[in-house]
Amino acid sequence: MTGALRRAGEARGAAALDGWLRRALAALERSERGGEADWWAGRLLAAGLAGSPEPSAHRELLERLAERAGRDERFGAAFWAGLPLPVAERVALLGGLAHGPGRREVVRAAAAELLAADPHGVLPLLCAWYGRTAGDEGGAAELADELLYEHRTLALDELTEALVAAAHPRADALLGRLAEREPSALCRAVDRWSHDPRPERHVAAAVHALRTAPHAGGSGARLLRLAARTLLAREDEPALHGAALALLVRDPQGRAEHLAAALAAYRAGDPFLTAEVLSGLLAEHPAQVLAAVRERLRAPDARPEEELRVLEAAADPATARSGLLLAAELLPGGPERAGEVARHLDRLLDAGRDGRPLLDAVLAAGPPVRAVFVPVLAAPGGGREELLDALLAAERDAGVLAAVVEALAARHAGHPGRRVRGLLCLVAERWPGADAALVRCAGRWAGFARLLASWPEEGPPPPQGPRLALMRALAASGRDPQYAAAEAERRVDRPGGRLTGHTKGLPVPGQGRSHGTL
């Protein structure tokens, strides 16, 4: 029977053979698993496909067989890897079969077998799977990632070449993983690409040199430096000079030679001269780096948050102080720029740094700028208490004091109750609007409402006002403090149903924000 099928294919072609194979497949699908008909149909199908003069002509038949791949060992990995097709067609066929339950492991095993037999030829074919659209999780692109990484040691240099030739985001991401796990191979690749005549390879050399540099050492680091010098010597590709300079200033031996050019590129906004690169230069060249950051911050396209991160690397107290004074120069730019500086200060305080050098500039700024810093200074820990006390020492602006009340209400749980109450009393003494602000915040935060309602006998007297008095009276009668706050605000601000003040809704106790009205 198998011989007859082979002769039919030889004499009449694959198209004629396909009809007989379809009949065998129909019999296979009808027959009981393990029965005689099943045995014959499976054997004839496998033999007929193996003897076909043009196996690729049976693509539809193969796709139907692939549906059985996970549950019929006769059509497992060995069958697919052994199909009499050119390797490129076999790998392409496997890529198309990678979607669907039951097939993934069969395709993985077959592709791994082909890859082990011919890494040089199969690697580019697997990279072509990146271009397939995944129909579900675990599709061809994901499987290519797994196979290429798992079997990377078969031919590392060929793998890096196949990945860069693929020019696909997934291939680029895998090169990034290899930079960490196989830095020597990436160093060799970067060296090759820097000398390649194709401009796109020069871009790859620049990008992956920077990715690999933190993980490279010895001869690999030397190859990266040579590649950087090669890129820097290409006068017709100035866009890559920043990457080369960023790499060269990492090297303590060659840093002085390239420092001026690197800082000039940074001031010009070169994307390769990042905060991370400048941070590595700050300890050894603080004056030059700070001057470059100052100039960069004045540029129209400056990104203050990125530039300020350079200053956060300062370990020397004198340099750290200079960095804070530099950051203070942004405050006249208004609340938006002040917000960047406030976040910068927040990160410094979280890291245990001294934020006092910035305080004078904050106190000298206008109320909108001072208000921006309140949430940072009112947060718990990091030496913030001293800074907040200094801010409040002479503060009289209603907007700033309102920001203090809201910040303390939002973060009251992070402070001792005695500390919060003392600050609230200080605010209430200076600001007639504290009564409304305190009750409004009590309606938003249940814990803060309880803090106001359960004021201890000892210590300073509680803040006063019509809303606070009514809130305490309602709470004392058994009302939930957060409900009591919302009710007090409603009664005082909207007597007789007439809207005269704030319009916050009545919250459900325990909710962070008020909602609805009762």
For 256-269, give the secondary structure using H, E and C. Answer: HHHHHHHHHHHHCC
Which residue is it, tokens 């009590």? 442
Q: Identify the domain boundary among 394, 413, 428.
A: 394
Give pTM, 2 decimals.
Answer: 0.76
Mean pLDDT value across residues 166-190 = 97
pLDDT at 135: 52
Percentage of the chain beyond pLDDT 90 is: 68
Which SS3 state, helix, strand or coil, does residue 101 take?
coil
Statement to judge: residues 313 and 387 lie in one domain: yes
- CA triplet 491, 494, 495: central angle to 5 degrees? 65
Separation of first and last alpha carbons in the chain: 86
Range with the lowest mean pLDDT among 70-84, 116-130, 389-403, 464-478?
70-84
118 in a structural domain:
no
CA nearest to 335, candidates 301, 370, 311, 309: 370
Q: What is the pLDDT of residues 299-354, one digit of tens each?
A: 999 999 999 999 999 999 999 999 999 999 999 988 999 999 999 999 999 999 99
Question: How high does pLDDT run on average in the chain?
Answer: 87
Q: Which of 268, 285, 316 is the last residue of a domain?
A: 268
Q: Which of 468, 412, 460 is nearest to 437 (CA)?
A: 468
**Single-letter amino acid code for the residue at 27:** A
Whether residues 383 and 280 share a domain: the answer is yes
352 and 307 share a domain? yes
Q: Are 377 and 305 members of one domain? A: yes
Q: Rounded to an integer, what distance in angstroms lies between the CA atom of residue 391 and that of residue 372?
A: 12
Tell me, rounded to whole angstroms, the distance of Cα 429 from its chain centroid: 46
Of the candidate ranges 43-47, 185-189, 336-340, 352-356, the one whose mean pLDDT is the lowest? 43-47
User: Residue 97: is its pLDDT beyond 70?
Assistant: yes
Which positions ≥6 away from 79 have C-beta within 8 Å? 46
pLDDT in tens, 13-28: 666 676 777 787 788 7
Q: Is residue 200 domain-shared with residue 279, that is, in the same domain?
A: no
Question: Which segment of 124-128, 246-250, 478-482, 504-508 scores lowest on mean pLDDT?
Answer: 504-508
Q: Above 50 in pLDDT, residue 484? A: yes
Phi, psi for residue 274 in degrees, rounded to 5: -90, 175
Q: How many whole angstroms separate alpha carbon 327 and alpha carbon 325?
A: 5
Please indicate, yes or no, if residue 10 is contained in any of the structural domains: no
Spell out a b/e string for 507-518, using b for 16 or more CB atoms within 10 Å of the CB, else e.
Answer: bbeeeeebeeee
What is the model's pLDDT at position 93?
A: 81
Per the structure, the count of domains in the chain is: 2
Residue 504 pLDDT class (50, 70, 90 cuts): very low
The pLDDT of residue 353 is 92
Q: What is the mean pLDDT of residues 288-307?
A: 94
**For the residues 267-282, what does the mean pLDDT come to?**
94
| 460 φψ region: left (φ > 0), alpha (ψ -120 to 50), beta (else) | beta
293 plus 388 within the same structural domain? yes
Question: DSSP labels for 443-483?
Answer: HH-HHHHHHHHT--SSSSPPP--HHHHHHHHHHHTT--HHH
On whether residue 194 sits in a domain, the answer given is: yes
Element (H, E) at 486: helix 481-493
Asked if residue 380 belongs to a domain, the reply is: yes
Q: Are residues 250 and 350 in the same domain?
A: no
Q: Which residue has the tokens 């200053």?
A: 311
Residues 349, 281 share a domain: yes
- Is there a single domain that holds both residue 353 and residue 245? no
Tokens of 181: 């796990």
- Give the structural domain span for 260: 182-268
- The whole-number pLDDT of residue 18 equals 67
Q: Please give the single-letter amino acid code of residue 3.
A: G
29 falls within a domain: no
pLDDT of residue 104: 81
Residues 290 and 260 in one domain: no
- Give the per-residue pLDDT at 440: 96
| Chain position carrying tokens 């690749």 | 189
Helices (H), 312-334: 317-328
Q: What is the distance between the alpha carbons of residues 509 and 70, in angstroms, rounded to a whole number?
A: 55
Give 499's pLDDT tier (boundaries 50, 70, 90): very low
509 assigned to some structural domain: no
> Do 246 and 282 share a domain, yes or no?
no
The identity of residue 158, as a single letter, is: E
What is the 3 state secondary structure string of 23-66?
HHHHHHHHCCCCCHHHHHHHHHHHHHHHCCCCHHHHHHHHHHHH
Last residue of a domain, one of 377, 394, 411: 394
Of residues 367 and 98, more confidence is placed in: 367
Residue 322 lies in a domain: yes
Give DSSP secondary structure letters for 385-424.
HHHHHHHHTS---HHHHHHHHHHHHHTGGGS-HHHHHHHH
Q: Examine the pLDDT at 501 and tell me if it is beyond 60.
A: no
- Please state, in angstroms and rounded to a whole number, the distance separating the CA atoms of residues 202 and 370: 49
| pLDDT tens readout for residues 363-397 | 999 999 999 999 999 999 888 999 999 999 999 99
- Local confidence band at 514 (pLDDT 50, 70, 90 cut-offs): very low
Query: Predicted confidence band at 51 (pLDDT cuts at 50, 70, 90)?
Result: low
Same domain, 255 and 292: no
**For the residues 466-472, what does the mean pLDDT come to?**
95
